[in-house]
Structure 1
Amino acid sequence: MKTLMVQGTTSDAGKSTLVAALCRIFANRGIKVAPFKPQNMALNSAVTEDGGEIGRAQALQAVAAKVPAEVDFNPILLKPNSDTGAQVIVHGKALSNMEAGSYHDYKKVAMDAVLTSQQRLSERFELLVVEGAGSPAEINLRENDIANMGYAEAVDCPVIIIADIDKGGVFAHLVGTLALLSESEQARVKGFVINRFRGDIALLQGGLDWLEQYTNKPVLGVLPYLHDLALDAEDAVAITNQVDKPQLRIAVLLLPHISNHTDFDALRLQPEIDLQYVRHTQAIPSVDLIIIPGSKNVLSDLAFLKNEGWHKQITRHLRYGGKVLGVCGGLQMLGNYLADPHAVESNLGSAEGLGLADFETQLGQQKVLSQVSGILHLNNRDKAISGYEIHAGISQGPALDKPFLSFNEHPSGFKVDGFISDDNQVAGTYLHGLFDTPEGVSELITWLAPNSQIKPIDINLNREQQLNRLASVVAENLDIEQIINIYENFNLET
């Protein structure tokens, strides 16, 4: 198996997007290609068919490569639950919570997991397109590195480095990054990609010529700034969308540890819906629906919600006839009481919930990870629905006697999920990906506005269109044949 690695001068330089584009380009050429990210740190994750958890970006890249997502595409996933700690997920399963210092010492063990995945993938794929993490020039993180050059050196693969020109300083980023690498690491860098360029390319040419002469490395291409590119985000939240005359208004509470905010992409992209994220210090605006999203640290985010005064604003919203939906951690907050006796997410212990539904939740050490399907009961009619679950809590209480949905079959034996309040104003579910089908979006719209004529978009079809658009632009602006030559004929000495 051949391996090609994409590293970036900074976070958000475009690594994830470039890997997705290359996966689609190579898949279209009939190459059996797979994405790979040795170590990812993100709160947006996806569940694989075999019940493992990987970064959302690698799930998107798997779609681009036209292969099912699997845990080996992202062997190490870190899900931050504080400023200094994270849950460590190895081969799709949660191992433990670790502080940054402890994980630094654990990296030698983590590298074994990374190389095991590399070996298993080598038996089934012709090409691995690998995404680095952050920057390879982070001096304080270079010891025992598994995310960037440490990995590249271990598997002996070529590297191309991408930089974002839109932020400014692109030549300093590229030259400075290269200068901070070791001699052997510099040798395996086989080219540069400049991302998000706007303007006349002729005005950039002098800088490109200088860069190639100064570094003796080729510029493989300059990618234009793609406006309105709508693909699943690894971390960044699109705070608002621009809708001139919305038929529905939705507010999502932007919690400090929000997870899987991609749940709401289909709603955000709907042209008739104004979806906005409510941030720290902001009041919840007048909307039809307030969504409390998932959280990686529910007790901490519940305290944040109360400190913002949002609980009082939610009560007022309901009093005036608005509706509230809680997803996963948001569901747990809606109940009377929430406990974390095993310190699964934090050391806060327990807290009173928002008291909007009669149930309690206890977090357990066993995480539920599953792709599921079932029947949605939101509008007093049965509609087929599908999604996935990622949660450590079990909720119990009378409110759950009127479930949000019934499972067709559940790996853990659960029969139902969530609740719908008797007054039909409050609902909650553990199901992520609820709106990833037009049917799910349609049911939500009907719940909010029974007579609405809004036609839901298909987020999966939209994703395919965006991936094809991205691949076409990248293929037009990058020297793909030279990139193929780089990984086919890689030699550290040349």
Structure 2
Amino acid sequence: MAAVMLQGTGSDVGKSVLVAGLCRLLANRGLKVVPFKPQNMSNNAAVAQGGEIGRAQALQAMASRAVPSIDMNPVLIKPQSDTGAQVVVHGKVIGTLGAADYQHHKGELLSAVMQSWDRLRAGADMVIVEGAGSPAEINLRAGDIANMGFARAAGVPVVLVGDIDRGGVIASIVGTKAVIDEADAAMIHGFVINKFRGDVRLFDDGYAQIEQRTGWSGLGVIPWLAAARQLPAEDAVVLDAAAATDGAITIAVPMLSRIANVDDFDPLAHEPGVRLTMVPPGQPLPGDAALIILPGTKATITDLAFLRAQGWDIDIAAHVRRGGALLGICGGYQMLGQAIEDPDGVEGAPETVAGLGYLPVTTRLTADKRMVDVTGTSLRDDQPFTGYEIHVGQTRALPQVQPLLRLDSGEHDGAISPDGRIAGCYIHRLFDHPAQRGAWLARLGAQGDGVAQQHRVDQALDSLAASLEDYVDIDRLLAIARHSHD
């Protein structure tokens, strides 16, 4: 078994995409390859084996042509507030910790990480490991399980990823060597430069300077890759610029403070007839929107208050008066109801708050979390969908309320208003199936492109893998990986 770990000079340097691309590249070479991320911090989660893992690891599993496993991401941290987060171990929630408490206890989770590592590597030819944040965060080194703490415990060699687009890439790589201790630095066998724009020959001297000052081998300079834009982003941080796509109809999504599973909207962003607008805090929802979608959230009650604080409830009311369509997904569905009850203090202090009141449903938050892959059809047009549920809380509807979806299990999900303009459900990735997405767009006066999201992502992974073959010294990377300790 061979293994290599990609660590970054900072967050958002492109590690997740590179791991996905390398997984597909090696799978295309016939290797049994699997991804692994010891610790992930993200509110974008996917279902795996009845538990949850980071959405990026589910994408990397797809790239590997492997079945997603809870062992691919044994520790998942899901922020609920600026200082506290839900801790998921082996796919299940074990509790909520403050940031300081987690730093104190995270070393205890190394055994859970190593259990997953041992199980995962046993059946693989190659494991591509992704770090989190940066090994240069030496203030967090004690008890580390995300970067060098894991690399040294597992004996996995490291390749450092630097992002030249943000500037200072020479200092960030050389500086990493300068601040980490010698034993950690000895784990790093090479580096790659990511997100390069322009003539790569202009960086020849900088590249040589990094090699000279660190003693690490350069494995390549990777340009901005168009295929990466077809892949789901790992975190909502990439949406901070309030990206909007072109199209005849506008679909608006307010960016809640704890927005989750943002890749629900990727299929809409790629539709040529849709202008998808992610609306940042402080900005009004567009008055010309044909559809407003309230997204999932890690903290429904908190984000409902946040929504009201932005004045978005007023924008939504005006939108509905104008005859616009409204959809809530997961936490957004809960917000559309009459009330949200939290008697056990699942999200904080026990309380009951009024919902937006657009659907005659009531939600009671519970500690139990439902995590399941689902398929089914929409009841109003009998179009198929695929997706998954991952949520706390049970939503009760009045007997006369029409459900939105019928699951193949025989259960119903969601609710829809009598005129069909307002709806909600718990299903993430609802728009992935082209027939389901096309039906929604047809009701808004647009035509779907008929492309399955999975097919679009699969093609992007192959394109990404082909590019990495051109720009990365894969033979050198494999030689480094074979230095891992079994």
Query: Which TM-score tier does this pair reach, normalised by the shorter chain?
Result: over 0.9
User: Could you tell me whether the CA contact under 8 Å between 1:327 and 1:432 is conserved in 2?
Assistant: yes
Q: Secondary structure at the match of 2:134?
A: coil
1:121-173 CA-to-partner distances (Å, cap 9, x unmatched) read: 12211211100000011122111000000000101110000000011100000
Opposite residue 355 of structure 1, the aligned amino acid is G
- Count of matched residue pairs: 480
User: Could you tell me whether the CA contact under 8 Å between 2:157 and 2:483 is conserved in 1?
Assistant: no
Once the two structures are aligned, what percentage of the paired residues are identical?
Answer: 45
CA distance in 2, matches of 1:311, 1:438: 30
Opposite residue 265 of structure 1, the aligned amino acid is D
Structure-2 residue corresponding to 1:430: 426
Opposite residue 311 of structure 1, the aligned amino acid is D
Q: Secondary structure at the match of 1:485?
A: helix
Structure-1 residue corresponding to 2:462: 468
Confirm or deny that 1:478 pairs with 2:472. Answer: yes
Structure-1 residue corresponding to 2:381: 381
CA distance in 2, matches of 1:371, 1:416: 14
Structure-2 residue corresponding to 1:29: 29
Q: Secondary structure at the match of 1:222?
A: strand
Confirm or deny that 1:231 pairs with 2:234. Answer: no
CA distance in 1, matches of 2:406, 2:400: 11
The 1:399–1:465 alpha-carbon spacing in structure 2 relative to 1, beyond 3 Å, is: farther
Opposite residue 307 of structure 2, the aligned amino acid is L
CA distance in 2, matches of 1:303, 1:362: 17
Opposite residue 180 of structure 1, the aligned amino acid is V
Q: What's the CA shift for 1:60? A: 0.7
Uncovered stretches (5+) of structure 2, i.e. residues with no partner: none
The 1:348–1:290 alpha-carbon spacing in structure 2 relative to 1, beyond 3 Å, is: farther
Opposite residue 45 of structure 1, the aligned amino acid is A
1:230-256 CA-to-partner distances (Å, cap 9, x unmatched) read: 21111034432331xx22210001100
Q: Secondary structure at the match of 1:401?
A: coil
1:211-237 CA-to-partner distances (Å, cap 9, x unmatched) read: 111211111100011246221111034
Q: TM-score, length-normalised on structure 2?
A: 0.96
Structure-2 residue corresponding to 1:240: 243
Opposite residue 110 of structure 1, the aligned amino acid is L
User: Could you tell me whether the CA contact under 8 Å between 2:442 and 2:448 is conserved in 1?
Assistant: no
* 1:162-177 matches, cutoff 5 A: 162-177=161-176
Q: TM-score, length-normalised on structure 1?
A: 0.95
Q: What's the CA shift for 1:490? A: 5.0
Q: Secondary structure at the match of 2:289?
A: coil
CA distance in 1, matches of 2:325, 2:294: 11
User: Could you tell me whether the CA contact under 8 Å between 1:400 and 1:418 is conserved in 2?
Assistant: no
Q: What's the CA shift for 1:408? A: 1.5
Q: What's the CA shift for 1:44? A: 0.6
* 1:74-153 matches, cutoff 5 A: 74-153=73-152
The 1:348–1:310 alpha-carbon spacing in structure 2 relative to 1, beyond 3 Å, is: farther
Question: What is the alpha-carbon root mean square deviation over aligned residues?
Answer: 1.4
Q: What's the CA shift for 1:181? A: 1.3
Q: Secondary structure at the match of 1:7?
A: strand
CA distance in 2, matches of 1:400, 1:447: 24
Q: What's the CA shift for 1:348? A: 6.1
Opposite residue 321 of structure 2, the aligned amino acid is R
CA distance in 2, matches of 1:14, 1:52: 26
CA distance in 2, matches of 1:399, 1:205: 69
CA distance in 1, matches of 2:213, 2:307: 52
- After TM superposition, the structure 1 stretch with the greater mean CA deviation from structure 2, 97-106 or 12-21, is 97-106
User: Could you tell me whether the CA contact under 8 Å between 2:441 and 2:447 is conserved in 1?
Assistant: no
CA distance in 2, matches of 1:393, 1:400: 21
CA distance in 2, matches of 1:477, 1:314: 47
Q: Secondary structure at the match of 2:418?
A: coil
